[in-house]
Chains A and B, each alone.
Chain A
């Protein structure tokens, strides 16, 4: 289980030049190649401990989940089950809960990712100024990242509470009506998106900041000589230079959004897997958990898990395509 949302988000170096492509393993210059330790069988010994654990607890489960998804399996009969071919997949496509969860996942994903990355870009710009207390600001912005999903969700559930929540107290103070955040469809999804945004904005800002610091001075000098204002410099120098980083953060945030689970599970405060009385904020991750561990339908849960993976593949594929087309149009590296 190396793929938790968090560890993936931290996986920045991976995709910088090209989000989906494997790292440039073979790009080592010939000179360096020769200089490497020559053919070395010890390589296997060095990667063996990693692959033993990784194979047993990651690679094997990934594939085995596919096998399970082709079976009718109950949690009580975990080793058994009957082979049903693609029946689970057909059932999933005909399942209104699946489409509801997919819709919720997309809505929350967009509501969480777009403002988050825009805010992060703005925050990175602010942090890029010559600042007093630079380290202080950076550390403070990263504190939400250090807060766990469970803790963050419980605090925000309190803030968004109908009767005792600070946000409603505030709304009332300015003459607006109280909102029942949890029971509304859009309101609950907005609230969950706020939790995600709160946890990840500072983190992404630091990523953007690191990228901004590596933009060469000459680009700004040239823009200044052309009489570009600060704002135009931001639009025409900073943003284009950050494009690969932005594309990468979009992909990583999307992968995280597809797996959204803890926030909707704990938002009502009672650990219910339905995602609200009308499933108004049940996500795919939560649906999968409900199918497997509330309804004990393991085969169906495995199918939902694979559907989630296919959705991620689709998104990553589209992003890679977008990056490549862009690179071709501008006639070089983006």
Chain B
């Protein structure tokens, strides 16, 4: 059992390429395809239902049989949702917040991951254990002092209150470290050293190019997580200057919540990340599988 990422050649498109078990895995029959189609349907249906429920009034949606197609009312409801919550601002805010968090996490975690993987300094092992150990700590344990801090700094409702605490991640450091331990040959570093390159030179000309595939995976996962982050933003921000998740959550808290409008707003807030997922889905799947167990 090793807990490392795939070798540098294939971190984004992992094991399946190797086709090791192809001979032993049977060909999928009709039963397999039917079951998979069922799983796929269940995965997609709630998202599709957002569109349908966003196009119909309560009475229409409760009819038997219920409507299964969206219609143009959806756009009216989207307009209504935009009036109830600043969804445009929310999407912009989420892009800024998630983008900043992604850049910070990838940068800082690559630096630290490299140091933990390849540089020897006192306390190296202890510090890494500390980082890894904190991954078990629940978010709840941090939010009270964080709230005190942003209240003190008068950052409530400001984007930096959401960006700064999430700017690095323990997972990111461990992820980059694990990748670089196996992907970066010591001989390469030694060669650089023999040529008289400084540590920084080595980092920029040798480490970064090798680390790029893992950085891309970390960037995608971080962006997705940051976009969907809910607990801390709902404490740090209000409906006046929300991220997408805060705005969506507030759609439902009106006195007379209109279900169709809530669904239309939810759709609008989810669409950007689904589009990104449609484009990069294959890479994200590969990244998650590459990060998983290698026997």
A: which residues have CB within 8 A of B? 1-8, 10-17, 20, 22-23, 25-26, 32, 35-44, 46-47, 49-51, 53-54, 57-62, 64-65, 68, 78-79, 123, 126-132, 134-135, 137-144, 146-152, 154-159, 161, 163-164, 166, 169, 172-173, 198, 202-203, 206-207, 209-217, 220-221, 230, 241, 244-245, 248, 255, 258-259, 261-262, 265-266, 269-271, 285, 288-289, 292-293, 298, 301-302, 304-306, 308-309, 312-313, 316, 333
Contacts and interface: CB of A to CB of B under 8 A. Distances in A.
Contacts, number: 444
A206 B250 CA distance: 33
Contacts of A14: 3, 132, 135, 171, 174
Contacts of A147: 46-47, 228, 270, 273-274
B149 to A, nearest CB: 8
Contacts of B35: 126
Given A46-B112, A53-B167, A216-B295, A7 B142 contact: no
Given A61-B144, A159-B49, A262-B231, A245 B120 contact: no
A32 B168 CA distance: 29
B39 interface: yes
B9 interface: no
- Chain A interface mostly: helix
Contact of A305 (B4, B141, B288): B141
A10 B121 contact: no
A93 to B, nearest CB: 18
Interface of B: 1-5, 14-16, 18, 20-28, 32, 35-36, 39-40, 42-44, 46-47, 49-50, 53, 58, 61-62, 64-66, 104, 107-109, 111-112, 114-116, 118-121, 124-125, 127-148, 151-152, 164-175, 177-178, 186-187, 189-190, 193, 199-200, 202-203, 221-222, 224-225, 227-232, 235, 244-245, 248-253, 257, 259, 262-263, 266, 269-270, 273-274, 277, 281-282, 284-285, 288-295
A28 B165 CA distance: 33
